[in-house]
């Protein structure tokens, strides 16, 4: 697990997404909230795909959306950015938490008018065919790449939500869906950046937007959104681009490490390479005052590591005589890279499976990383591995939420076709299939007690209680 500032950012994004999932809930953060839906029976719209939460291919225009987003997010850079402070003063959390029917319409409309230019530009960017952030992550310090657009995207998502809430208040549902569509497209665009931070911001934005999908679903005359939700990509935010980039951050940082057993370096070049590896963790935690201090620390680590590194090469098939002829720094460099590659691949390989198949292997890989800090296997390179299991479970929670909201709309469709009655089981729903729970690969839990249906999903391990599982209670309005 990363122990440097980027780790805090990644974990903050994961927990931030978790808090977004339970926004507007007053429950204890250590208790899984019961989310209640009192909804109307409503069949699918005509035509069935009238409502869409992402722009269609026909709506997409040539262009790079990143250029437009960058232009409008500049005022929001950093937690104390001028734009962020101004937006907090205008909206705070009031317009996000006030029930839509109680929004002071004229005041909210006036506050939103200040962002007309931003809304227009984001609407335009969200409908551009590509989004290339051109991040310089193939550098020696990929973790130092600045992401000024990240804070802005979160702030703009909040503004879009306020706009959608006012449109729901005015019963302009088509306009509200268009606004949410802009936000969902923006979330996928920000996730095009090749870092886990980008992907997690996309997840967090989607979670904010889904709060207002729920608000819309509860409106008395709300359209059925089953197909709009089902048509969203699965996964909604594909983590593979970021994972494939981040697993090579050490390669970018160190360079020239493809085959150290056959590399032709001088003893001094080997020492510089080892020092460069050791400096990764040092630099990420603020560095040392002088190069001499850095070299001294690297020398101390090498003395401790050499016996284990020597044995590593012998166990791999080299004779003790052959190993002893190698420069000490080469032996250490080979051990660092090869043991790091083993640990890294054992972590990343599980992330290509559905989250419900990841858990046992991923937990063991995480334990191996923790133990490696004691044995110095892969040290310090293994210390910079990202918290990827936390990241992929955040994506799975998002997909679970989309699938569960689609299930609520499937119940609305069934009720519309059956005199307002809820089905006894999900299998009884024939108007549209209920998606499987992405966190289990199985159907959602479902039961009916009187006029109330309960939809559930078991908790994911090692997650905050407030979002570990899912518990909906659904009633159909008469």
- Cis previous bond, 235, omega within 30: yes
Closest CA to 351 of 381, 386, 317, 400: 386
Tens-place pLDDT, residues 209-219: 999 999 999 99
310 in Cβ contact with 331 (< 8 Å):
yes
* CA 97 to each of CA 91, 171, 328: distance values in angstroms, whole numbers, following the listed order: 10, 18, 62
Domain boundaries in the chain?
Answer: 1-49+387-478, 52-222, 250-384
Distance between CA atoms of 229 and 332, rounded to whole angstroms?
A: 53
What's the pLDDT tens digit per position in 373-394? 777 777 777 777 777 777 888 9
Helix/strand/coil for 421: coil
Between 243 and 176, the higher pLDDT residue: 176
Q: For residues 343 and 388, is the Cβ–Cβ distance under 8 A?
A: no
Tell me the average pLDDT of the chain.
86
Name, in order, each residue with C-beta under 8 angstroms of 91's C-beta and a sequence gap of 6 or more. 111, 158, 159, 162
**pLDDT value of residue 286:** 56
What is the mean predicted confidence (pLDDT) over 454-469?
Answer: 89
Range from 42-56, 232-246, 295-309 that averages highest in pLDDT:
42-56
Q: Are 16 and 198 in contact (CB under 8 A)?
A: no
Per-residue model confidence as pLDDT tens digits over 323-370: 999 999 999 999 988 988 898 899 889 888 998 898 888 888 888 887
What local confidence, expressed as pLDDT, does residue 22 receive? 45
Tens-place pLDDT, residues 7-52: 445 445 454 554 444 443 445 667 899 999 999 999 999 999 999 9
What DSSP line would sit under 373-392, residue for residue? HHHTTTTTGGGG---HHHHH
Question: 36 has which bridge partners?
Answer: 473
Inter-helix orientation angle 148-169/196-218, to 10°: 10
DSSP string, 141-158: -GGG---HHHHHHHHHHH
- pLDDT attached to residue 223: 97
Cα–Cα distances in Å, from 350 out to 80, 355, 399? 38, 9, 18
**High-pLDDT (> 90) share of the chain, %:** 51
Question: pLDDT at residue 148 above 90?
Answer: no
pLDDT in tens, 241-279: 888 888 888 888 887 677 888 888 998 988 888 888 887
Q: What is the pTM of this model?
A: 0.88
Residue 61 vs residue 84, higher pLDDT:
61
Strand partners, 392: none
């Amino acid at each position: 697990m990363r122990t440097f500032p980027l780790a805090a950012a990644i974990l903050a994004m994961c927990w931030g997404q978790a808090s977004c999932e339970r926004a507007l809930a007053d429950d204890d953060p250590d208790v899984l909230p019961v989310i209640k839906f009192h909804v109307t029976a409503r069949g699918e719209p005509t035509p069935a795909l009238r409502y869409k939460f992402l722009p269609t291919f026909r709506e997409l225009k040539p262009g790079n959306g990143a250029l437009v987003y960058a232009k409008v997010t500049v005022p929001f850079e950093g937690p104390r950015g001028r734009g962020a402070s101004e937006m907090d003063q205008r909206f705070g959390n009031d317009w996000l938490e006030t029930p839509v029917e109680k929004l002071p319409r004229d005041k909210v409309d006036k506050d939103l008018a200040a962002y007309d230019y931003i809304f227009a530009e984001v609407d335009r960017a969200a409908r551009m065919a590509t989004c290339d952030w051109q991040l310089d992550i193939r550098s020696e310090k990929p973790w130092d790449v600045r992401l000024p657009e990240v804070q802005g995207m979160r702030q703009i998502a909040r503004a879009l939500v306020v706009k959608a809430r006012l449109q729901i208040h005015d019963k302009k549902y088509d306009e509200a869906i268009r606004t949410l569509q802009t936000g969902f497209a923006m979330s996928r665009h920000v996730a095009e950046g090749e870092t886990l931070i980008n992907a997690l911001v996309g997840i967090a934005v989607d979670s904010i937007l889904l709060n207002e999908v729920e608000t819309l679903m509860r409106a008395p005359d709300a359209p059925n959104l089953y197909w709009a939700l089902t048509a969203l990509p699965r996964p909604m935010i594909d983590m593979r681009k970021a994972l494939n980039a981040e697993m090579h951050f050490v390669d970018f940082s160190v360079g020239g490490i493809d085959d150290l057993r056959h590399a032709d370096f001088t003893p001094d070049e080997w020492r510089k390479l080892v020092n460069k590896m050791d400096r990764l963790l040092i630099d990420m935690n603020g560095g040392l005052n002088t190069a001499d201090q850095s070299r001294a620390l690297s020398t101390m680590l090498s003395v401790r590591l050499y016996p284990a590194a020597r044995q590593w090469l012998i166990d791999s098939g080299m004779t003790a005589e052959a190993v002893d002829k190698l420069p000490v720094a080469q032996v250490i460099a080979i051990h660092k890279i090869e043991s790091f590659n083993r640990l890294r691949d054992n972590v990343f390989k599980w992330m290509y499976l559905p989250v419900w198949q990841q858990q046992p292997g991923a937990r063991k890989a995480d334990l191996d990383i923790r133990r490696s800090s004691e044995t110095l296997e892969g040290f310090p390179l293994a210390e910079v591995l990202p918290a990827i299991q936390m990241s992929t479970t955040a994506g799975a929670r998002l997909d679970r939420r989309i699938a569960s909201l689609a299930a609520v709309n499937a119940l609305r469709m069934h009720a519309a076709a059956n005199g307002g009655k809820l089905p006894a089981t999900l299998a009884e729903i024939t108007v549209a299939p209920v998606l499987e729970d992405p966190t289990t690969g199985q159907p959602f839990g479902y039961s009916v007690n009187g006029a109330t249906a309960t939809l559930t999903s078991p908790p994911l391990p090692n997650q905050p209680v407030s979002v570990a599982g899912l518990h909906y209670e659904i009633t159909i309005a008469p």
